[in-house]
Structure 1
């Protein structure tokens, strides 16, 4: 019996070869090849041993050229574990080490059929969905096994200043896959079934003002907000509005959202999301400061504002201490800079974390990275990156240091 996420894509795999044959007749298409080697190490309080992972992600596929507006893309990922694998990949049971969620294995990353007609398009099958800045829905591209979605997506542009984006999702292939084991928990399944609806409408209201309104209904089967929480506790409906723009060297963003439960959720949810951000850029140097708040919830258990489908590594620090919002919520005050340096890009960020409710502090974090193309090797780029989190309350969070060394080739 195929796994749930495989079952949901089987009809598209049957159609793809026929559609690809027609599309190939119109042109040569584009091969896809991406190789990413990464060393990751984690030093986390509470563990006697540090985690060390060396992995190679191999991504290969093919995107056909369009034939009467139809095109096909098929892509597979394989993650290879190199060395002795001294880390907890959430499946191998090596709990004496901190988690590095890069499980060796292979699966279909994308397999889709797309119909494009002018500024409109419809996409069917397994696909990448990155909405806006990926704060609520994204592909978690930082992990070696990307998160992709099974379903249908409709993108319309009825006016130059108006864009409508709707997706129906019945399967999610998470970063923890491609399979489960006895070490899996209800908080980290490899695949999630359900019936989710993602609607986003964007308006360009003025040269310096764009608005994005969204409503997401997440029906996520087989997953819970925590390893001991009831199933269905991530079933939610989130409605929000984001305003953003730029004027000269200045940019800004402001956002507000409310999250409530669906009928299928055994818990009552009602929490808020708030964001205020200001940026400044001159001569290639970009500075940004902001405050992001994910509200806590009322009642027993963790009923805080959650973003289970987000690319969370982009937010609240690279140490990934707050992948699940604590029950008391979280306020993140941050300041960062991106600076061109010696042909590469240097980033530096500072975060201060505190509960949204109840007072006190969680801790603070410093993040640094430097990315640079490798001279003489076309398509190859290197990255050095580190995160240093220091806890002010060891009963709630722990000191965490992470280091990454990465080489990536993109064809």
Structure 2
């Protein structure tokens, strides 16, 4: 099991210990009666069929998460959470860590590690967190926890949020290590393309202001120093603005960002990001359509707009064909619907992918999912999910299927 750098882990765990021991003498009832255990079990079967030389992937995994969230003592609280991912059955898939490179990829390596270990302080005007934590900013397009994968992405560092005015939230985070979905970091297959731990110094700045019920404005700058990821070629400074809200029942989002090189990146980055999205709910059916562009760039190497810390599975299709933006960029025109059905929720999406530079038509994708709570068992939810990518000028035809059951206490 990989541990955090001593400075951050010891501080977080010491804080948790204090909140349960030294402080307990004064407010024992709050710390324990308001605390709660954490138990989350997630079984998943994932099948991947690609039109290439790789053998089909068939992965069965179980993610077990246990932990404890303390109560509060004058705003102070602590949390400790441990994850284990275990393979069930044969290893007929490439987890990136099991040596099965002849099979298609299912990025859920076996192993155990500390998922979160933190000390938190809450105040009427904001909050502060130190230690290993999940950080989800805005819609997670640039910074997220990648909760879809069995091993969640968490961050070692500091996060502060200040709310000086009604509707205004100022956030700053410093990160010196990212625990990626490919962990824990004790395997000989660890590589610069998919390291278990991404080292470096990153600064995240985000200011969000709810101006009106119809308008929320967000400005951000994310300075990512990712020293051991792809030779630091994804170290970047991304600055942007996002506008979103609901007007006369129509939801919208408009966003623009610019990406430049940062820290020790050997490449000269210069690319842009655009998003325009509209949504409308009619008789319980949520409709949405959008156009998202991650720009490409000419020059040596792939200098396109990248989002290395994003929850990427939530964008550009569930087949995960575009986890790394192609050098010519990618433009994604999409539409879909979410509707209630038989006590659950049905989603259907269509994507058309094209190059941002040039005339290449990458391909199309169709996604379908149905989720429903199991009747009579509180906290148990089932999921069936399917993605089909039909390749044209990029990658290969890809079919993915998931069957999942998750219990949360």
Q: What is the match of residue 408 of structure 1? A: 406
Structure 2 match to 1:286: 286
Q: Which runs of 5+ in 1 are unaligned?
A: 225-230
Q: TM-score, normalised by structure 2?
A: 0.96
State yes or no: 1:178 paired with 2:176: no
The partner residue of 1:56 within 57, 62, 66 is 62
Indicate whether 1:210 and 2:216 are aligned.
yes
Q: Name the residue aligned to 1:328.
A: 328
Separation of aligned partners in 2, 1:173 and 1:297: 29
Q: Offset of 1:43 from its aligned partner?
A: 0.3
- Alignment partners' CA distance in 1, 2:138 and 2:311: 11
Q: Deviations over 1:156-210 (max 9, x none)?
A: 1111121111111111000000125333321100001111000110111222111
Is 1:70 matched with 2:76? yes
Deviation at 1:249, TM superposition (A): 2.2
- Partners of 1:166 and 1:245 in 2: CA distance: 23
1:263-314: per-residue Cα shift (whole Å, max 9, x none)? 4111100100000001011221100000000000221110000000000000
> 1:306 maps to which residue?
306
Q: What is the Cα-based RMSD across aligned positions, in Å?
A: 1.4
SS in 2 for 1:221: coil
SS in 1 for 2:142: coil
Q: Deviation at 1:392? A: 0.5
1:97 alignment partner in structure 2: 103
**Contact kept in structure 2, 1:353 and 1:361, CA below 8 Å:** yes
Partner of 1:232 in structure 2? 232
Q: CA separation in 1, counterparts of 2:2 and 2:282?
A: 51
Q: Alpha-carbon deviation of 1:17?
A: 1.5
Equivalent residue number for residue 187 of structure 1: 193
For residues 72 and 263 of structure 2, the distance between their equivalents in structure 1, rounded to whole angstroms, comes to: 42
Relative to structure 1, the CA distance from residue 369 to residue 248 in structure 2 (aligned partners, 3 Å threshold; closer, same or farther) is: same
Aligned to 1:165: 171
SS in 1 for 2:359: coil
Alpha-carbon separation, structure 1, partners of 2:326 and 2:52: 19
The whole-number CA distance in structure 1 between the counterparts of 2:145 and 2:213 is 29
Moved more, 198-207 or 308-317: 198-207
2:252 corresponds to: 252
TM-score, normalised to structure 1, is: 0.95
Q: In structure 2, what is the equivalent of residue 398 of structure 1?
A: 396
Distance of 1:140 and 1:59 partners within structure 2: 15
Give 2:133's aligned residue: 127
- 8 A contact 2:134–2:155 mirrored in 1: yes
Deviations 1:204-248 (A, max 9, x none): 122211100000000012111xxxxxx111111000000001023
Stretches of structure 2 that go unaligned for 5 or more consecutive residues are: none
Q: Distance in 2 between matches of 1:367 and 1:3?
A: 36
In 1: Cα distance, 2:54 partner to 2:143 partner: 35
Paired residue secondary structure (2:20): helix
Q: Aligned to 1:118, which of 119, 124, 144?
A: 124
* Partner in structure 2 of residue 366 of structure 1: 366
Tell me by how many angstroms 1:3 deviates: 5.1
Deviation at 1:6, TM superposition (A): 4.5
Q: CA offset at residue 359 of structure 1?
A: 1.1
Secondary structure of the corresponding residue to residue 361 of structure 2:
coil
Partner of 1:227: none
User: For 1:130, what is the secondary structure of its paired residue?
Assistant: coil
**Do the aligned partners of 1:4 and 1:191 also contact (CA within 8 Å) in 2?**
no
1:324 Cα deviation from its structure 2 partner: 0.5
Does the CA-based 8 Å contact 1:245-1:252 persist in structure 2?
yes
Note the C-alpha offset of 1:102: 0.3
Kindly report which structure 2 residues correspond to 1:345-360, keeping only aligned pairs within 5 A, or say none: 345-360=345-360
Tell me the equivalent position of 1:376. 376
- Counting matched residue pairs gives 402
Contact 1:365 1:390 in 2 (8 A): yes
Other-structure match for 1:41: 47
Q: CA deviation at 1:48?
A: 4.5
Counterpart residue number, 1:84: 90
CA distance in 1, matches of 2:264, 2:54: 41
Post-superposition offset of 1:68: 1.0
In 1, are the aligned partners of 2:95 and 2:107 still within 8 Å (CA)?
yes
Gap change, CA 1:134 and 1:102, over 3 Å in 2: same
Instruction: Check conservation: 1:218, 1:237, Cα contact below 8 A.
Output: yes
